[in-house]
Amino acid sequence: MRYTRHLRLPGFGEVAQQRVENARVLVVGAGGLGSPVLLYLTAAGVGTIGIVDNDVVDESNLQRQVIHSSVKEGMRKTTSAAQVMNDLNPHTGTELHSVKLTTDNAQQIVGSYDLVIDCSDNFQTRYLVNDVCEELGLPHVWGAVISYYGQVSVFMHDGSVDSVTLDDVYPRSEKYDALPTPQEKGTFGPICGVIGSYMASEALKIIGGMGTKTYGKIALIDVLNGEMRTVPVATTRA
């Protein structure tokens, strides 16, 4: 009964739902983007969801990080999120990694999952996730938000010569370290829900083996002006 609406969907059905229930998905970041991603993957019945985050819940998070609440202030975000996820769907297992993802632990953590969803908020972590997924040949869904704007793309890391990676969207440069941060420019709360839901949709399509993924392109969403477009991305590698 829990998954009836999925089972009735053309192209989804029992086969895709079983794939979802067998999947192991790692979510990097339990903040603004991680909140809707974790909630929708849990509701969908993903078998095991890993969460990587070394932060604690702060009052300033609550305007957009909707998986947390005021009574959880000071609690680890991984623990806070897992409690809500268990209440939402006790059939989904959680694995908590209450650490910062680093070059020392990334392969060990990421290597036990089928798919990675990058909900981090800094380029250092984003590039690290990209590199580890590329090394392990794992698909990964990437998203970012700032102000009223968001972006989403999918990197399959399938080893093909034209496989697109984060480096094709944002070639590595020190200039990104100087860009204004969400803390400085602000973040419109609902944009996290829009982009996070988009990321969860991409993840479920990858797991379930259906639909057209946002692969080889980047989706650009501007909620202030009500605009959305996709732009093709070409690999920069020879």
Please give the pLDDT value at position 184. Answer: 77
- Answer yes or no: is 237 within a domain: no
pLDDT of residue 161: 65
pLDDT at res. 185: 83
Assigned domain for 238 exists: no
Domain tally for the chain?
1
Mean pLDDT of 182-192: 90
Residue 178 is predicted with a pLDDT of 67
Inside any domain, residue 28: yes
Provide the pLDDT for residue 182.
75
Q: Which domain holds residue 129?
A: 4-232
Say what the pLDDT of residue 237 is: 64
Could you read off the pLDDT of 225-236 as tens digits, one per residue? 999 999 999 887
Q: Across the chain, what does the average pLDDT equal?
A: 94
The CATH number assigned to the domain holding 36 equals 3.40.50.720
What percent of the chain has a predicted confidence (pLDDT) above 90?
89
pLDDT 10s digits, 2-44: 999 999 999 899 999 999 999 999 999 999 999 999 999 999 9
The pLDDT of 202-217, averaged and rounded, is 96
228's CB contacts (< 8 A; 6+ apart) are 219, 220, 221, 222
- Measure the CA–CA gap between 2 and 91, rounded to whole angstroms: 10
What long-range pairs does 97-100 form, CB within 8 A, spacing at least 24? 97/50, 97/51, 97/52, 97/53, 98/53, 98/54, 99/52, 99/54, 100/54
Range in 33-37, 188-192, 220-224, 232-236 the model is least confident about: 232-236
Closest CA to 234 of 164, 167, 170, 172: 164
User: Residue 160 domain-assigned?
Assistant: yes
pLDDT in tens, 74-123: 999 999 999 999 999 999 999 999 999 999 999 999 999 999 999 999 99
Q: How confident is the model at residue 183 (pLDDT cuts 50, 70, 90)?
A: confident
Question: Which pLDDT score, from 0 to 100, does residue 162 have?
Answer: 72
| Res 238 pLDDT > 60 | no
For residue 209, pLDDT over 70 is answered with yes
| pTM across the whole model | 0.95
